C-alpha cells in the first residue's frame, strides 16, 4: 500500500504493516508504533529494516562469544545498530 508524506513523497510498503507504520524517520526508514509504551512516553516507536521491514535484533559475531552487532530479525543480515533501538517522536515524519 502507499501512504503520502507532508512533502508529497509517496512511500510504498507491505499492506500487513498498515496498522503499525506511522511514518518514516530521518533516514527514510519506515517507523512502526508498538501497541505498548515505555513508562513516561505515550508510544514506542521503532525503525524497520530496509531489507525486510522487520525489527533488528542483537546477534553475536559467530566468531567468538562477543556481541557482534545488530541483525535483521527476518533475514539475519547485518544492519545498522539503529535498528536495534528506537526513535523519538521528533525524528518521525508522519503520514499526511
Ligand atoms: Zn532483512
Note the pLDDT of residue 66: 62
Query: Residue 95 C-alpha to ligand 1 middle, in angstroms?
Result: 24
* 52 CA → ligand 1 middle, Å: 4
- Is residue 11, in this structure, part of any structural domain at all? yes
In a domain, 95, yes or no: no
Q: Which domain holds residue 79?
A: 2-90
pLDDT of 17 strictly over 90: yes
The answer to whether residue 96 is domain-embedded is: no
pLDDT at 39: 80
Q: Ligand 1: distance of its center to the CA of 48 in Å?
A: 9
Three-state SS for 40? Answer: coil
Residue 84 domain-assigned? Answer: yes
Is residue 65, in this structure, part of any structural domain at all?
yes
Give yes or no for residue 27 having a pLDDT over 90: yes
SS3 at position 2: strand
Strands 67-72 and 56-60: antiparallel
Work out how many domains the chain is built from and give that number: 1
Q: Of 16-20, 37-41, 68-72, 87-91, give the lowest mean pLDDT range.
A: 37-41
Dihedral of alpha carbons 52, 54, 19, 6, sign: negative
**What is the 40 CA–ligand 1 centroid distance (Å)?**
31
Residue 24 falls within a domain, yes or no? Answer: yes
Q: Is residue 59 part of a domain?
A: yes
Amino acid at each position: 500500500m502507499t501512504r503520502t508524506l507532508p512533502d508529497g513523497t509517496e512511500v510504498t510498503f507491505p499492506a500487513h504493516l498498515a496498522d503499525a507504520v506511522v511514518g518514516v524517520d530521518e533516514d527514510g526508514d519506515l517507523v512502526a508504533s508498538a501497541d505498548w509504551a515505555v513508562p513516561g512516553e505515550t508510544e514506542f516507536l521503532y525503525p524497520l529494516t530496509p531489507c525486510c521491514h522487520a525489527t533488528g535484533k542483537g546477534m553475536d559475531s559467530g566468531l567468538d562469544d562477543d556481541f557482534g552487532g545488530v541483525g535483521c530479525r527476518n533475514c539475519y543480515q547485518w544492519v545498522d545498530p539503529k535498528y536495534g533501538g528506537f526513535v523519538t517522536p521528533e525524528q518521525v515524519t508522519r503520514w499526511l
